[in-house]
């Protein structure tokens, strides 16, 4: 093939991949349901995030496996399962999922390791760095009493891993628990995390290689006690859905809006509509995936926790539609019903 033809083919393929849009009316809609992979096995990916890369969706989540137990001596519902590491699944249509294996494996019997099965490894989110060509995973790392409160980072040359764990940090000395990562159109990436003992969230600009926090950060939703952050962009505005802090028990979501990721952020009401909207349909936010952002169409991902048997926690995936009144997440529609 001559060079000109090869270049044209590359441009065509790139455009086709960018233009790929999954049909919003055909999304898998779940409300507290299990999700199976293409071999019929239950998908084990909680507190999940999705990376869209080269036409493929990669789903990453916490592997929850084993007996749930209550950590003694805590004043809150500190139910735990062994930290099973982070799983990865891939899909081209968000409907059929292929299990890609364990993206980040935990260590066993090494209590001093951040990623030991006796620790907490939660809410993994992966972004791609186009300059370093590395896939970067950020996650919440904690001790079983949640006092460690740090952000862990791992890297891989492949979206499916294996990811190599690099260590954990308190960004600018600040606590970090529930978290997400947001990569903007300009290539800048931000870590968003519940901080200050969960009283206040923070947004921190990541370094250009996405591997460490910079000193540029802001305090947002101050003293609002929010967690489970999920950030997305619509037009020129940034949106952040969060939950209240009630352990594994459901509560009401709110959304906030900003002109820039570092804020200022203004908090608005509940984006959920319909039966059990005041409890986020008994689930808790984890990610918002752009499906057709130009049309304001997103997929809202949440976890319906089963705190007495965490392995049996299920998933709530609902359409999120931008409206003149802000984001709206309706209770489950018939799978074939188009969203108006
Ligand atoms: C709520 C958080 O959102 C979860 O990720 C988990 O950390 C639980 N709290 C623990 O109670």
* Residue 91 confidence (pLDDT) above 70: yes
Kindly report the number of other CB atoms within 10 A of residue 320's CB atom: 27
Q: Is residue 273 part of a domain?
A: yes
Ligand 1 and 284: CB distance under 6 A: yes
* Residue 336 in domain: no
Report the separation in Å between the CA atom of 20 and the middle of ligand 1, taken as the mean of its atom positions.
34
Nearest CA to ligand 1 atom 9: 247
Q: Please state, in angstroms and rounded to a whole number, the distance separating the CA atoms of residues 271 and 325.
A: 9
| Residue 176 near residue 195 (C-beta atoms within 8 A) | yes
Number of Cβ within 10 Å of residue 101's Cβ equals 11
Average pLDDT over residues 303-332: 97
Domain membership flag for residue 18: no
Residue 10 domain-assigned? no
Report the pLDDT value the prediction gives residue 17, as an integer from 0 to 100: 43
The per-residue pLDDT for 333 is 53
Among protein residues, the one whose CA lies closest to atom 7 of ligand 1: 178
Mean pLDDT, residues 158-178 taken together: 98
pLDDT at 28: 86
For every residue of 81-92, which 3-state class applies, written as one string?
CCEEEEEEEEEC
Q: How far apart are CA 283 and CA 281, in angstroms?
A: 5
Q: Which domain holds residue 205?
A: 30-330
Whether residue 335 is predicted with pLDDT greater than 90 in this model: the reply is no
User: What is the structure's pLDDT at 334?
Assistant: 44
Residue nearest ligand 1's atom 3 by CA: 228
Q: What is the pLDDT of residue 81?
A: 97
Quick check: is 1 in a domain?
no
Structure tokens at 65: 């496996």
pLDDT at 336 > cutoff 60: no
Decide if 164 is inside a domain: yes
**Mind listing the pLDDT tens digit for each residue in 255-272?**
999 999 999 999 999 999
Report the alpha-carbon distance of residue 41 to residue 272 in Å, rounded.
Answer: 30
Q: CATH number for the domain including 313? A: 2.115.10.20
DSSP letters for 179-230: EEEEE-TTS-EEEEEEETTTTEEEEEEEPTTSSSEEEEEEEESTTS-EEEEE
- Give 177's DSSP letter: -
Phi, psi of 6 (to 5 degrees): -60, -40
- Tell me if 244 is assigned to some domain: yes
**What pLDDT score does 134 carry?**
98
pLDDT at 3: 55
The neighbour count for residue 105, using CB atoms within 10 Å, is: 16
Beta-carbon-side half-sphere exposure of residue 88 (alpha carbons within 13 Å): 23
pLDDT at 93 over 60: yes
Residue 340 clears pLDDT 50, i.e. is over it: no
pLDDT tens, residue by residue, 125-164? 999 999 999 999 999 999 999 999 999 999 999 999 999 9
| pLDDT greater than 50 at residue 216 | yes
Query: CA 123, 26, 127 angle in degrees (round to 5)?
Result: 30
Q: Measured from the CB, is residue 37 less than 6 Å from ligand 1?
A: no
pLDDT, the chain, mean: 93
Distance 150 CA to ligand 1 centre (A): 14
Q: Does a structural domain hold residue 23?
A: no
Atom of ligand 1 nearest to the CA of 307: 11
Spatial contact of 318 and 29, defined as CB atoms under 8 Å apart: yes
Q: Is 326 left (phi over 0), alpha (psi -120 to 50) or beta?
A: left
Structure tokens at 185: 């159109």
Question: Is the pLDDT assigned to residue 337 strictly greater than 90?
Answer: no
| SS percent in the chain: helix, strand, coil, step 5 | 10, 50, 40
Sequence-separated (6 or more) residues with CB below 8 Å from residue 137: 60, 86, 103, 104, 124, 125, 126, 153, 154, 155, 156, 163
Query: Is 80 exceeded by the pLDDT of residue 52?
Result: yes
The number of domains in the chain is 1
Instruction: Compute the distance from residue 6 Cα to the ligand 1 centre, in Å.
Output: 49
Asked if residue 303 has its Cβ within 6 Å of ligand 1, the reply is no
Question: Which pLDDT tens digit goes with each residue over 3-42?
Answer: 544 444 444 444 444 445 688 888 889 999 999 999 999 9
Burial class (CB in 10 A: 0-12, 13-18, 19+), 67: exposed
């Amino acid at each position: 093939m001559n060079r000109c033809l090869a270049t044209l083919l590359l441009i065509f393929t790139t455009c086709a991949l960018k233009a790929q849009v999954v049909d919003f009316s055909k999304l898998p809609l779940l409300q507290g349901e299990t999700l199976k992979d293409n071999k019929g096995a239950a998908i084990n990916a909680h507190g999940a995030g999705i990376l869209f890369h080269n036409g493929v969706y990669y789903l990453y989540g916490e592997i929850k496996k084993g007996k749930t137990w209550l950590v003694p001596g805590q004043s809150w519902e500190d139910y735990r399962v062994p930290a099973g590491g982070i799983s990865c699944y891939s899909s081209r249509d968000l409907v059929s999922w292929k299990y890609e294996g364990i993206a980040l494996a935990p260590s066993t019997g090494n209590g001093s390791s951040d990623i030991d099965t006796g620790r907490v490894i939660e809410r993994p989110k992966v972004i791609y760095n186009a300059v370093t060509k590395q896939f970067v995973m950020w996650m919440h790392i904690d001790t079983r009493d949640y006092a460690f409160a740090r952000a862990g980072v791992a890297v891989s040359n492949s979206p499916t891993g294996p990811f190599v764990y690099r260590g954990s940090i308190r960004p600018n000395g600040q606590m970090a628990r529930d978290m997400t990562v947001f990569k903007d159109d300009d290539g800048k990436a931000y870590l968003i995390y519940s901080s200050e003992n969960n009283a206040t969230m923070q947004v921190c600009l990541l370094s250009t290689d996405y591997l460490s926090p910079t000193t540029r950060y802001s305090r947002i939703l101050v003293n609002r006690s929010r967690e489970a952050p999920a950030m997305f962009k619509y037009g020129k505005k940034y949106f952040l859905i969060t939950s209240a802090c009630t352990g594994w028990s459901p509560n009401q979501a709110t959304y906030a809006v900003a002109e820039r990721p570092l804020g200022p952020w203004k908090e608005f009401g509940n984006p959920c509509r319909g039966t059990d909207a005041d409890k986020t349909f008994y689930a808790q936010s984890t990610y918002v995936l752009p499906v057709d952002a130009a049309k304001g169409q997103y997929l809202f991902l949440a976890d319906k926790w089963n705190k007495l048997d965490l392995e049996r926690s299920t998933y709530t995936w609902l359409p999120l539609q931008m409206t003149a009144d802000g984001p709206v997440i309706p209770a489950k529609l018939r799978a074939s019903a188009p969203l108006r």
